[in-house]
Amino acid sequence: MMAIAAVWIAVLLLGGGFALDRTLTRMVEKNFDDQLEYLLNAMLVVAEVGPDGEIYFNRPVGEPRFLEPNSGLYYQISAEGQEGYTSDSLEPSLSRSLWDSPLKLRQDHFDDDPHFYDSYQFAGEPLRIVERSVILPDSDARWTFAVASAREELDFQISRIRSILVWSFAALALGLLIMAALQSYYGLSPLRRVRAAIQSMRSEGANRITEPLPLEVEPLVEEINGLLAHSEKQAEEARMHAGNLAHALKTPLTVLTNAATANDPQLSDLVFRETKTMQRHVEHHLARARAVGRRASGHSRADVWPSAESVLRAVTRIYEDTRFDVDGNRQAAVSIERQDLDEILGNLIENAAKYGGGSVFVTIDADREAKDCTIWVEDDGEGIPASERTRIFDRGARLDTGKPGTGLGLAIVRDVAEIYGGSVELGESEDLGGLLVSLTLPRAGG
């Protein structure tokens, strides 16, 4: 920021200083030239041509420096094709200040208007000359009037102006750089306060940034606090899952330990039964852990129709006698990973085919204007009584123990859906008469 500010300040000040220098220099030169032109016009007003063809002034010009040798102010009057000369009785065509050293004028042209230029004829004394060509009354010659002045005073004024500009702009640049540095320092101070607050959290064990901070960084603080809350929630979920898994495995392990200690003759049957129970719990918690990890990886998006078709193709091979129908919004998309959506729909459709009477109907996003996307899975089986619809979500709960399964299907569906902010509800199908499962998931944007 400071480098950019320094470069930009330098560019602006150099550009502005150059423009201001040109403007002031032209103004000083214009003022200097106006003074020379005033003297030239004064000479033209009083100049006359005598009977003998000589030029003279009918009254004094009124500038004493013309009479002082080497005074730095000179004039010269010459006709076309002739050099300057002096006269004893009339005002000379060369000023006394020239001391008989005529000016080298540019007499190869005729100027109706005053013409200004610089001359370096005299060593150590640069001159500024204004000349004008006129034809005086009673004369056919073209007379060239010239007034010259030493540039010393002009150059001194210009150098003085440039010195003032350089020091002024240098002070201005220094002031601007200091201001930019202070602005950057104090402007970024809220970020230093945020850094200090985060360091304080790490050293003091706080879980939020609670220090009052300026309005400019409040959105940043809110996002940091939101990230901390999200991390805490994930850590709490991980601890809860670890505790649940440990609790779920504790009982089967205790049973196996006691049976082995007592040399139970049915130990092999116990091992088989209890290991199956432990396998169900491990699969359940692994499914939840995978869903939590994928949810934390970023914004998720899955198209519902391709997922449903993929699941139906797989389930159809297992339940060849079951009729599957799918209808609804083909463009529906939800904020969930495709793998998790496949697992949810696979559990629901497989359960509908397993416990139904031979017909399964899937409806995708019937209400396209709703905030969330709802997927209905219906079957023509016996359904689930209202009193059992809450218990059926418990891990290992099964109403029909005559069919194979772990009893974790609906529990996994509910847990994974809730991880992504969705929900699962059970009801009765009006069309098929069996179970109606309503799966609601957040609709994906775009």
Radius of gyration in angstroms for the set of CA atoms belonging to the chain, rounded to a whole number: 51
Q: Please state, as a whole number, how many other Cβ atoms lie within 10 Å of the Cβ of residue 343.
A: 20
Q: Please state, as a whole number, how many other Cβ atoms lie within 10 Å of the Cβ of residue 85.
A: 15
pLDDT value, residue 400:
46
Residue 109 CB partners (closer than 8 Å, separation 6+): 133
pLDDT value, residue 393:
67
Q: Please state, as a whole number, how many other Cβ atoms lie within 10 Å of the Cβ of residue 28.
A: 17
Q: Please state, as a whole number, how many other Cβ atoms lie within 10 Å of the Cβ of residue 264.
A: 14
* Mean pLDDT for all residues in the chain: 81
Q: Tell me what the mean pLDDT of segment 135-160 comes to.
A: 87
pLDDT value, residue 229:
84
Residue 384 CB partners (closer than 8 Å, separation 6+): 392, 399, 426, 435
CB 304 within 8 A of CB 337: no
CATH of domain 300-442: 3.30.565.10
**Higher-confidence position of 443 and 389:** 443
State the pairing for strand pair 125-134/115-122.
antiparallel
Domain with CATH 3.30.565.10 in the chain: 300-442
Whole-angstrom Cα distance, residue 76 to residue 93?
A: 6
What tokens appear for 277 in the block?
């129970």
Domain boundaries 2-159, CATH class: alpha beta
CB 73 within 8 A of CB 66: yes
62-71, 227-236, 350-359: segment of lowest average pLDDT: 227-236
Whole-angstrom Cα distance, residue 121 to residue 381?
A: 120
**Higher-confidence position of 143 and 35:** 35
Task: Tell me, rounded to whole angstroms, the distance of Cα 207 from its chain centroid.
Answer: 30
What tokens appear for 96 in the block?
């006394």
Q: Which residues of 241-252 are buried (b: 16+ CB within 10 A; e: fewer)?
A: beeebeebbeeb
Taken as a whole, the chain contains a residue count of: 446
Whole-angstrom Cα distance, residue 325 to residue 311?
A: 12
Domain with CATH 3.30.450 in the chain: 2-159
Q: Which helix (H) or strand (E) holds 49?
A: strand 47-49
**Higher-confidence position of 406 and 168:** 168
Place 290 in a pLDDT band, splitting at 50, 70 and 90.
Answer: low
Q: pTM, whole model, 2 decimals?
A: 0.47
**Higher-confidence position of 56 and 125:** 125
Compute the C-alpha angle 56/61/64, nearest 5°: 120
pLDDT value, residue 292:
62
CB 381 within 8 A of CB 429: no
pLDDT value, residue 74:
92
> Rounded to whole angstroms, what are the CA distances from 245 to 39, 241, 281, 315, 394?
110, 6, 7, 30, 14
Say whether 51 sits in a helix, a strand or coil.
Answer: coil
Whole-angstrom Cα distance, residue 348 to residue 437?
A: 8
Q: Is residue 226 over pLDDT 60?
A: yes
Number of alpha carbons in the 13 Å side-chain half-sphere of residue 175? 7
Amino acid identity, position 29: E
Q: Please state, as a whole number, how many other Cβ atoms lie within 10 Å of the Cβ of residue 136.
A: 17
Q: Where are the beta strands (DSSP E) in 58-162?
A: 73-79, 115-122, 125-134, 143-150
Task: Tell me, rounded to whole angstroms, the distance of Cα 391 from its chain centroid.
Answer: 53
Whole-angstrom Cα distance, residue 1 to residue 18?
A: 26
Say whether 382 sits in a helix, a strand or coil.
Answer: coil
Say whether 401 sits in a helix, a strand or coil.
Answer: coil
Whole-angstrom Cα distance, residue 116 to residue 132?
A: 9
15-29, 131-145, 393-407: segment of lowest average pLDDT: 393-407
Task: Tell me, rounded to whole angstroms, the distance of Cα 221 from its chain centroid.
Answer: 19
Whole-angstrom Cα distance, residue 363 to residue 308?
A: 10
Dmax of the chain from CA atoms?
160
> Using one digit for the tens of pLDDT, what is the confidence trace for 77-105?
887 644 443 333 333 478 888 887 888 87
Q: Is residue 403 over pLDDT 80?
A: no
Say whether 180 sits in a helix, a strand or coil.
Answer: helix
Q: Tell me what the mean pLDDT of segment 58-82 comes to.
A: 82
Q: What percent of the chain has pLDDT over 90?
A: 27
What tokens appear for 386 in the block?
């209202």
Query: Cα dihedral angle (351, 354, 357, 358), rounded to 10 degrees?
Result: 100
Say whether 89 sits in a helix, a strand or coil.
Answer: coil
Residue 185 CB partners (closer than 8 Å, separation 6+): none
> Using one digit for the tens of pLDDT, what is the confidence trace for 291-344?
665 555 446 788 999 999 999 998 998 888 889 999 999 999 998 888 888 888
